[in-house]
C-alpha cells in the first residue's frame, strides 16, 4: 500500500474565500510532508474572490486577470484538486459524491466520482435567496458566480450600446435612457451602484456620447428596511446614502419588492421602478445540498457547528464560512457570513485539524470583528474599524477607508501566495491597469 493511501485523508469541499486558503495552507503544512492527503473539490476550475464580483459585473475588473487555476495552486501547494459539484455525502461509508464535469459543448470531461475521507470540511458558501418573489429568479440576475457577473456586464454594455444607437428606451424628449434596478441595499447593492455610475462615465468617454452618464443612466437601489446597510452602524449608513445621492443614485428605502418583470420592479407601496436590467442582492441562504446530508442545520439550512467548527451531528465533518452556522458567544449570535470570518476560520482550522491529527483536544474559534468597509468604487469608501484593531469602533472614510478595503483582498492573496508574491501581484495589476480599458467591453 502506498504512503499516500495510508495518510489521513482531508477533503475540503469549496475553494472560495475560506476553502482555498485552508487547502493551500494545509497542503504546505501537512500535504508536503505526507502527513495528510489533502483534496480540494470545487465545481469550477478557477477561483475568484467573491467580494470582487460586483466589480466584475460593472466591468471594472476583468476576471481573467484575477482568477486563479485550482490545478496550478494544487501543484504549487501539495494538495490534489478534483473538479465537480458535491451532490451528497455517504456518512456511513465516509465518501463524498462528486458529479460529472462537462465542457462548454456539453462533452463529459470527468465522470461522477466518490471520494473517501477521514475528515471532511464543507466550505461551499451561500446562494442568493429570492424569497419567492414572483419573477425574481427569472428576471433578476444574482451575483453568486463569475458567470452571472459576466452575464450582467455583457447585458449592461449591450443596453448602453443599444440606447446610444436609439434602439432602447428613451425619455419623452427622445434622449436615450438605460434603467438599472438593484434590489437590496446591503453592501453588495451599494457597492455595485457606485461601480455602475463609474462604468457609465467610462462608457461615455469610450464613445457612447449620446448617453449622458448621470442624466440618462438611471440607477436605483431598492431596500425593504428603513435604511441602507442595515447590518452596519447608522453613521456608516447615513454617510453612504449621502454619497450615493451625490452620485445621482436613486435610493429607495422601506420599499418591499413584490414582483420583478422584464421591464420593471414593483413594490408593496405601489411604486414601479423601470428596469432594463435588475440585480438581486437582497439576501443569501445556504446551498440546498446541505439539507440532504442528514446533519443538523439552521433555519436557513446552514450546517450547525460547535465552537470548534465541527458539525453537531458528525465528529468527522467540519463546516465554515457562509455555509456554517457557527456560534459567536460574545455577541450571543452566530458568526456573520463575511469574507473576513471565512479567512479567520480558515486560519483556525489549520491549527484545529493539526490538533485533531495529533489526537489533542480541539480549540475553540473566536471571531474578531475587525469592522466593515463599503467601497464606493473610484469615488470613496466608508466604514468602521472595530475592536481588535483599535479597541473600540471608529468611523473612517476617504483614502484610509479605501486602503483598508483594498487590504482585505491583499490579505486573501497573501494567504494564497505569500506576502512577496502578493506584492508582485499588486504591482503587476497596477501596471496592467495602465494599458487596459477601465471597463471590460468584450
Does position 189 interact with ligand FAD (CB under 6 A)? The reply is no
Q: Closest distance between ligand FAD and the C-beta of residue 85, in Å?
A: 4
Q: How far apart are CA 19 and CA 16, in angstroms?
A: 5
By CB under 6 A, residue 188 contacts ligand FAD: yes
Q: Is 176 in the site for ligand FAD (CB under 6 A)?
A: no
CA-to-CA distance for 90 and 88, rounded, in angstroms?
7
Site for ligand FAD in 268-287 (CB under 6 A): 287
Per CB under 6 A, 13 contacts ligand FAD:
yes
| Least separation in angstroms between CB 229 and ligand FAD | 11
In this complex, which beta carbon is closest to ligand FAD, that of residue 154 or of residue 272? 154
Check residue 30 and report its DSSP letter.
I
Give the shortest CB-267-to-ligand FAD separation in angstroms. Answer: 23
Binding residue for ligand FAD, selected from 11, 180, 289, 319, defined by CB under 6 A: 289
- Number of C-beta neighbours around residue 274 at 10 A: 15
Which listed residue (53, 286, 353, 370) binds ligand FAD by CB under 6 A?
A: 53
Selected range binding ligand FAD among 37-45, 89-97, 259-267, 393-401, rule: CB under 6 A: 37-45
Site stretch for ligand FAD (CB under 6 A), options 238-246, 271-279, 306-314, 335-343: 335-343
Residue 187, interface with ligand FAD (CB under 6 A)? yes
Q: What sign does the dihedral 296-302-305-310 (CA atoms) show?
A: positive
Under 8 Å between Cβ of 20 and 129:
no
Site for ligand FAD in 108-147 (CB under 6 A): 123-125, 143
Between CA 73 and CA 25 the distance in angstroms is 11
Q: How far apart are the first and last CA of the chain?
A: 51
Q: Where are the alpha helices (DSSP H) in 140-281?
A: 146-164, 187-205, 234-246
Q: How far is the CB of 177 from ligand FAD (least distance, A)?
A: 26
Residue 37 within binding range of ligand FAD, rule CB under 6 A? no
Binds ligand FAD by CB under 6 A, chosen from 135, 321, 327, 377: 321
Helix (H, G, I), strand (E, B) or coil at 281: coil
The H or E element spanning position 115 is: strand 113-116
Q: Which residue is nearest to ligand FAD (CB)?
A: 16
> Which residue, 122, 120, 41, 113, is CA-closest to 80?
41
**Site for ligand FAD (CB under 6 A): which residue of 179, 322, 369, 397?**
322
Nearer to ligand FAD, 163 or 385 (CB): 385
C-alpha cell belonging to residue 77: 501547494
Strand locations in 160-315 (E): 169-170, 176-183, 217-223, 249-253, 257-260, 264-267, 272-274, 277-280, 284-285, 303-304
* Candidate residues 164, 340, 344, 384; the one interacting with ligand FAD per rule CB under 6 A: 340
- β-strand partners of 312: none
Among 9, 25, 29, 54, binds ligand FAD (CB under 6 A): 54
Kindly tell me which residue out of 339, 349, 353, 422 binds ligand FAD, with binding defined by CB under 6 A.
Answer: 339
Transcribe 73-92 into DSSP letters: HHHHTT-EEEES-EEEEETT
User: Which residues contribute to the site for ligand FAD (CB under 6 A)?
Assistant: 13-19, 41-44, 47, 50-51, 53-54, 85-86, 123-125, 143, 187-188, 287, 289, 321-323, 337-340, 342
Amino acid at each position: 500500500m502506498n504512503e499516500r493511501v495510508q495518510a489521513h485523508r482531508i477533503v475540503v469541499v469549496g475553494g472560495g474565500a475560506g476553502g482555498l486558503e485552508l487547502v493551500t495552507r494545509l497542503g504546505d503544512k501537512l500535504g508536503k510532508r505526507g502527513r495528510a492527503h489533502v483534496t480540494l473539490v470545487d465545481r469550477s476550475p478557477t477561483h475568484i474572490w467573491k467580494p470582487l464580483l460586483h466589480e466584475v459585473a460593472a466591468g471594472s475588473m476583468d476576471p481573467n486577470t484575477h482568477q486563479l487555476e485550482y490545478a496550478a495552486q494544487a501543484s504549487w501547494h501539495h494538495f490534489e484538486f478534483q473538479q465537480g459539484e458535491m451532490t451528497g455525502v455517504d456518512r456511513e461509508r465516509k465518501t463524498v459524491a462528486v458529479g460529472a464535469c462537462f465542457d462548454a459543448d456539453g462533452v463529459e470531461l470527468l465522470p461522477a466520482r466518490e471520494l473517501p475521507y477521514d475528515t471532511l470540511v464543507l466550505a461551499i458558501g451561500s446562494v442568493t435567496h429570492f424569497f419567492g418573489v414572483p419573477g425574481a429568479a427569472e428576471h433578476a440576475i444574482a451575483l453568486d458566480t463569475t458567470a452571472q457577473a459576466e452575464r450582467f456586464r455583457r447585458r449592461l454594455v449591450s443596453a448602453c450600446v443599444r440606447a446610444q444607437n436609439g434602439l432602447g428606451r428613451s425619455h419623452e424628449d427622445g434622449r436615450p435612457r438605460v434603467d438599472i434596478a438593484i434590489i437590496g441595499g446591503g453592501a453588495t447593492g451599494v457597492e455595485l451602484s457606485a461601480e455602475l455610475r463609474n462604468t457609465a462615465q467610462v462608457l461615455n468617454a469610450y464613445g457612447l456620447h449620446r448617453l449622458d452618464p448621470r442624466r440618462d443612466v438611471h440607477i436605483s437601489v431598492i431596500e425593504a428596511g428603513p435604511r441602507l446597510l442595515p447590518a452596519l452602524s447608522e453613521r456608516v449608513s447615513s454617510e453612504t446614502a449621502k454619497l450615493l445621492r451625490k452620485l445621482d443614485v436613486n435610493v429607495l428605502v422601506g420599499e418591499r419588492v413584490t414582483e420583478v418583470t422584464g421591464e420593471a420592479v414593483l413594490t408593496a407601496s405601489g411604486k414601479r421602478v423601470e428596469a432594463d436590467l435588475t440585480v438581486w442582492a437582497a439576501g443569501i441562504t445556504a446551498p440546498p445540498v446541505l439539507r440532504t446530508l442528514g446533519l443538523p442545520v439552521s433555519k436557513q439550512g446552514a450546517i450547525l457547528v460547535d465552537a470548534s467548527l465541527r458539525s453537531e451531528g458528525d465528529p468527522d465533518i467540519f463546516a465554515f464560512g457562509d455555509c456554517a452556522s457557527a456560534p459567536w458567544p460574545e455577541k450571543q449570535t452566530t458568526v456573520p457570513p463575511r469574507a473576513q470570518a471565512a479567512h479567520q476560520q480558515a486560519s483556525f482550522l489549520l491549527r484545529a485539524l493539526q490538533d485533531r491529527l495529533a489526537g489533542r483536544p480541539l480549540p475553540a474559534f473566536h471571531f474578531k470583528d475587525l469592522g466593515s468597509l463599503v467601497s464606493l468604487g473610484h469615488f470613496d469608501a466608508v466604514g468602521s474599524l472595530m475592536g481588535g484593531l483599535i479597541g473600540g469602533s471608529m468611523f473612517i472614510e476617504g483614502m484610509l477607508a479605501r486602503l483598508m478595503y483594498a487590504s482585505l483582498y491583499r490579505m486573501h492573496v497573501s494567504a494564497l501566495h505569500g506576502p512577496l508574491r502578493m506584492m508582485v501581484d499588486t504591482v503587476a495589476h497596477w501596471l496592467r491597469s495602465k494599458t487596459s480599458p477601465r471597463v471590460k467591453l468584450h
